[in-house]
Amino acid sequence: MKRQSELSEGQWVKDQLEESNPEAVIFEDLDEALIGVGRQWARKPVAVYSVAKILSELERVYDCTETDAAEWFGHNIECLGMGDATPILLYEELV
C-alpha cells in the first residue's frame, strides 16, 4: 500500500475505509470533497465529506449553478440514511 503522502486525500481515505469498513458509503465523483475518516463510539469508521467541497464539486462535475447543486445535494446526499455506513457531512461554515 502506498504511503499517505503519495496519494490524494480522497484516495487515502478510500483506502483506509476499504480496510476498516468496506460497507462505508462513498459518493461517486466526489473524491475532492472526501476529507477524512470519522467514527462514533462503538461504530465502524465512515467517510467524512466537506459540504462546501461537495457543492463545489457538484457545480464542476455536473456543470450546474450553485442553486442547482444545493438543491441536488439536499435531495440526494443530505437526506441519505444508510445506517452505520452513512457518511458524516461537515458543515465548516457552522464550526
pTM: 0.87
Q: Pick from 74, 37, 38, 82: which is nearest to 55 by CA?
A: 74
Strand partners, 37: 47
State pLDDT tens for residues 19-62.
Answer: 999 999 999 999 999 999 999 888 999 999 999 999 999 999 99
Rounded Cα distance between 29 and 7, Å, is 17
Mean pLDDT (the chain, rounded)? 91
Residue with cell 476499504: 18
Distances (CA, A) of 33 to 27, 41, 79, 83: 9, 24, 17, 21
